[in-house]
Amino acid sequence: MRFRGMQPRNSLLFILSTVLVLSCPSAAQTGLPPRELVRRTVDNEIKTSNSNVNFMFKDFKETPGGSQTKLLVETRQATAGLVVAINGKPLSPEQREAEIARVERFVQNPDELHKKQKQEKEDAERVTRIMKALPDAFLYEPAGTEPGSETVGRLGDDLVKLKFHPNPDYSPPSHVEQVLTGMSGFLLIDANHDRIAKIDGTLLREVGFGWGILGHLAKGGRFVVQQINLGDAHWEF
């Protein structure tokens, strides 16, 4: 191997560093069974979810009735959201004034802020319950690796792929986890950082809640979550 423009000592350091990078343990090399790799990753996800890092980002939603763009800001109290565009067009002066008044309601009315905080806390608790159930709710099998991209994991990193399907021995402790009993799909895991880069699941059968009295999720429904590595150990959905 030749490295033009490099001194012999620097060339040796380069080769050694390359060998170290190439020898970093992937999931296949850790020797962990798939379920234990998932359990370790889930434990780390839950631990890192309690970080004090807040982000400002845009949220784009599109439905048959049109699209909406929101500017979202995470704060210690709650996540503040302001609509900035509808169907790709900036708000009119009247719409902007109404949207600002809506946001100010949370600032001026403690009860409104408390309701929002309660809703966000309940959402976070549901996510945590689902995450904690992943190791036991499914049976996993290795499915090779996939490269990270600009929207999944980190560009160029190898991600471990695990296929999953419902574990017949799993008994969901509440209706929150019940959705997992009818779902199959795959996980992409960054085994070097113990982070989930992607979850892609599809309901293979209808899942009812409370014998169907409380509602149901239809067969064919799809659930996809992706995370990217923003650097400095920061990951974001």
Q: Which two tokens stand for residue 223?
A: 């659930």
pLDDT digits over 138-190, tens only?
Answer: 999 999 999 999 999 988 899 999 999 999 999 999 888 888 888 999 999 99
Classify burial at 199, counting beta carbons within 10 Å of its beta carbon; exposed 0-12, middle 13-18, buried 19 or more: buried
H helices within 68-159, ranges in order? 93-108, 110-137
Phi, psi of 154 (to 5 degrees): -130, 140
The separation between CA 86 and the C-alpha centre of its own chain, rounded to angstroms, equals 26
pLDDT for 26 beyond 50: no
Q: pTM for this one? A: 0.67
pLDDT digits over 87-105, tens only?
Answer: 999 999 999 999 999 888 8
pLDDT for 17 beyond 50: no
Q: By the 8 A CB rule, do 28 and 142 touch?
A: yes
